[in-house]
């Protein structure tokens, strides 16, 4: 089933990573700044933003207080809330059991509407056979070595190596990437380097295009996007093009398309809680 308003190949945009180092902002100061916006579209990544990075994706848990703050913001006047993640929709739904929340999974391959219906968002094409081949080639190199994890999704594939010794990762990752080049090129796939993860996805799928689609569904709202990883740079650029604001979540400064920085998911929760108070007058501990 095709999603209404699906982006076509003519919507291609290729932002690069920024060169500025976004300065840190206090959570309360960011909330006060956004409280002045008459219509606010709040978009958030999940891992590293609403949850601390864990040794494996299964071990990640939503930061305490995040679900409650998001629930109150969903009902606030003049506020729309969306989560845009590389995770599959089913995993996001289990971690964020909130009605009225739009969820985007696999970097934009799928969207779950507030009524719970999942549907394709960006055109992934038929990439299953190519992803099978990439998984097979990675297995040839890894041979069951501990610490490595291949995560297969419907439209992408992730190779996690957070629990692998740095010298082993430095030795094996180039071999895997060399084996992947030809089938990736033939299938129109691209490789994204994240935080201790390599992700392969169709070239027409990224968080920036997903955010553009979401913004088209909510005209009149000014967007702010919070994210922590390389894959979020497309989204930072997309909201900037619409007069919005990107906020990097990172303990240390790094070059980014974002304009401001919060330190960690705990600060994101403090920001959300302060935003509830600013937008609704409700004060929660």
**How many Cβ atoms sit within 10 Å of the Cβ of residue 217?**
15
In this structure, is residue 9 part of a structural domain?
Answer: no
Distance CA 123, CA 2 (A): 8
Q: What is the largest CA-CA distance in the chain?
A: 58
Residues 60 and 163 in one domain: no
- Give the model's pLDDT for residue 8: 34
> Residue 149 forms beta bridges with which residues?
160
Q: Give the pTM.
A: 0.86
- Give the model's pLDDT for residue 24: 97
Positive or negative: CA dihedral 45, 50, 56, 59? negative
Report residues of the chain scoring pLDDT below 50.
1-15, 285
Distance CA 113, CA 117 (A): 5
In this structure, is residue 54 part of a structural domain?
Answer: yes
Domain that holds residue 189: 128-202
Residue among 45, 228, 229, 232 flagged as catalytic: 45
Backbone angles phi, psi at 280, to 5 degrees: -120, -15
Backbone angles phi, psi at 207, to 5 degrees: -65, -30
Residues 21 and 111 in one domain: yes
CATH code, domain carrying 189: 3.30.70.1020
- Give the model's pLDDT for residue 168: 97
- Give the model's pLDDT for residue 123: 72
Distance CA 83, CA 53 (A): 17
CATH code, domain carrying 227: 3.40.50.1000
pLDDT tens digits along 212-239: 999 998 899 999 999 999 999 999 999 9
Residues 197 and 210 in one domain: no
b/e string for 127-137 if b means 16 or more Cβ within 10 A? beebbebbeeb
Number of domains in the chain: 2
The answer to whether 126 touches 111, Cβ cutoff 8 Å, is no
- Give the model's pLDDT for residue 14: 37
Residue given tokens 């430095």 in the structure block: 170
With CA atoms as reference, report the closest residue to 130 among 182, 94, 197.
Answer: 182
Distance CA 212, CA 116 (A): 21
- Give the model's pLDDT for residue 44: 98
Backbone angles phi, psi at 139, to 5 degrees: -65, -35
The verdict on whether 45 is a catalytic residue reads yes
Backbone angles phi, psi at 81, to 5 degrees: -130, 130
- Give the model's pLDDT for residue 15: 38
The answer to whether 94 touches 82, Cβ cutoff 8 Å, is no
What is the DSSP-derived secondary structure letter of residue 183?
H
The answer to whether 111 touches 122, Cβ cutoff 8 Å, is no
Residues 99 and 32 in one domain: yes
Q: Which residues contact 116 (CB under 8 A, 6 or more apart)?
A: none
């Amino acid at each position: 089933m095709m999603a209404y308003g699906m982006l076509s190949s003519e919507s291609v945009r290729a932002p690069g990573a920024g060169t500025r180092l976004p300065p840190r902002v206090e959570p309360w100061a960011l909330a006060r700044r956004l409280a002045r916006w008459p219509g606010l579209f709040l978009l958030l990544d999940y891992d590293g933003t609403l949850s601390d990075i864990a040794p494996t994706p299964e071990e990640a848990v939503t930061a305490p207080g995040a679900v409650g703050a998001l629930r109150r913001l969903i009902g606030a006047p003049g506020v729309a809330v969306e989560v845009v993640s590389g995770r599959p929709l089913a995993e996001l739904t289990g971690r964020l059991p909130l009605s009225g929340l739009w969820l985007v999974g696999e970097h934009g391959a799928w969207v779950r509407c507030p009524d719970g219906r999942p549907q394709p968002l960006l055109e992934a094409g038929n990439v299953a056979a190519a992803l099978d081949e990439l998984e097979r080639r990675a297995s040839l190199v890894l041979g069951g070595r501990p610490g490595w994890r291949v995560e297969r999704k419907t439209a992408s594939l992730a190779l996690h190596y957070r629990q692998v010794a740095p010298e082993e990762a430095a030795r094996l990752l180039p071999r895997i990437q060399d084996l992947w080049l030809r089938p990736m090129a033939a299938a129109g796939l691209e490789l994204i380097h994240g935080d201790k993860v390599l992700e392969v996805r169709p070239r027409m799928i990224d968080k920036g295009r997903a955010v553009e689609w979401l913004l088209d569904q909510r005209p009149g709202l000014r967007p702010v996007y919070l994210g922590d990883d390389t894959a979020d740079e497309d989204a930072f650029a997309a909201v900037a093009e619409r007069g919005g604001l990107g906020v990097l979540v990172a303990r240390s400064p790094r070059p980014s398309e974002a304009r401001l920085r919060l330190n960690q998911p705990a600060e994101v929760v403090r920001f959300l809680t302060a935003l509830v108070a600013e937008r609704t007058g409700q004060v929660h501990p």
